Every structure is written in structure tokens, then in C-alpha cells.
């Protein structure tokens, strides 16, 4: 009987983000997949994307009894959570009828051959020039961008005022 393990990983080096998985059957590498995500994406999104890709791969190849191994506890916990985010919901829907697929956590950088290979592939993917995965900004990212712009505008206004004091601004009350 074939023992299938598919290792996933996400990586962010500087602003560059990559995701990857590697399929091992009986400890032999069968296939690999690498993707470059947009620079604004997080490692967490790369990790979740890798899980999503693995499940598509498993279903496309009609694999059974697969162990999906990730070193991202947060990504695995999100899949097990009550999250209603569309992307997570898609993963859960695909897993619903595949009870023989097991999600497993592995400690990062502990010498596990498949996990180390997935880590290397994700880092390689982050170095790619062609971005092949585009996700929208998360609510938190949008809020942070808006806060940064507001702060910059406020500082600019302060510097332009005659006596470097803030002008009175009527802000709407919630």
C-alpha cells in the first residue's frame, strides 16, 4: 500500500511571498508545485493557499489516505475552526467527503525531509518574478493602509500650518 504524504509551506522573504507543496509516496518525491503570491500577501495566506492547492491536487488525482503535513499551526487551526471566510470554506467543503485525508502538524526546521523540501520550494517560489496568485487585501491590511495614510496626511497638514499646531477638524462621530 502506498503511503502518501504531501508537505506544504509558505514563505516571505523581504516583500516577496511564495507557496509550495511536495508530494511524497513511500518517501519518494512524486511531484511538486510552486506559486508566487503578490507582495502584499502574508505568510499565513501563502500557507492557507498551499493547503487549498494540495486539496485540489488530491481530488484531481483521486488520491486516498493522504496525510497533509504543514508546519503552520495557524493555517491548520483555521481549517479546523468555524471560520466563514470564503477561501477557508472552500477548503472545508472539499475535505467534507474525504474523511481519509488527515491534516497533520510538523515542527518546522527539524530535519523532516518532506517539510524541508517544501520550505525550500516555497522560498524558491518567493524569488520568482511572475506573480501567479492574486488575493485581495485583508480587512486588517486595508485598515492598516488607511491608518498609515491618515497619519501621513495629518503630519503633512501639521507641517504646513503656520504655527505648526493642528487645525481644528470636525470629525464625524460614530
Average pLDDT along the chain: 87
Are 51 and 8 in contact, with CB atoms under 8 Å apart?
yes
* Distances, alpha carbon 161 to alpha carbons 36, 149, 155, in Å: 45, 18, 10
Cell numbers given for 137: 487585501
Note the CATH architecture for domain 4-135.
2-Layer Sandwich (3.30)
pLDDT per residue as tens digits for the range 19-64 = 999 999 998 999 999 999 999 999 999 999 999 999 999 999 999 9
**Domain boundaries of the chain, sorted by first residue:** 4-135, 137-168
Angle 73-80/43-60 helices, nearest 10 degrees?
60
In degrees rounded to 5, what are phi and psi of residue 11? -145, 145
Given a cut of 60, whether residue 85 has pLDDT beyond it is: yes
pLDDT per residue as tens digits for the range 2-28 = 799 999 999 999 999 999 999 999 989
Given a cut of 70, whether residue 170 has pLDDT beyond it is: no
Amino acid at each position: 500500500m502506498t503511503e502518501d504524504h504531501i508537505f506544504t509551506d509558505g514563505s516571505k522573504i523581504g516583500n516577496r511571498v511564495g507557496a509550495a507543496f511536495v508530494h511524497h509516496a513511500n518517501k519518494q518525491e512524486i511531484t511538486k508545485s510552486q506559486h508566487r503570491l503578490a507582495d502584499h500577501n502574508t505568510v499565513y495566506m501563502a500557507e492557507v493557499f498551499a493547503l487549498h492547492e494540495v486539496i485540489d491536487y488530491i481530488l484531481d488525482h483521486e488520491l486516498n489516505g493522504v496525510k497533509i503535513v504543514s508546519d503552520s499551526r495557524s493555517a491548520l487551526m483555521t481549517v479546523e475552526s468555524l471560520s466563514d471566510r470564503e477561501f477557508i470554506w472552500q477548503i472545508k467543503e472539499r475535505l467534507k467527503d474525504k474523511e481519509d485525508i488527515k491534516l497533520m502538524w510538523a515542527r518546522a526546521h527539524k530535519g523532516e525531509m518532506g517539510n524541508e523540501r517544501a520550505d525550500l520550494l516555497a522560498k524558491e517560489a518567493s524569488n520568482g518574478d511572475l506573480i501567479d496568485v492574486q488575493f485581495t487585501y485583508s480587512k486588517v491590511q486595508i485598515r492598516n493602509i488607511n491608518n498609515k495614510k491618515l497619519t501621513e496626511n495629518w503630519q503633512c497638514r501639521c507641517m504646513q500650518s503656520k504655527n505648526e499646531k493642528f487645525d481644528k477638524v470636525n470629525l464625524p462621530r460614530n
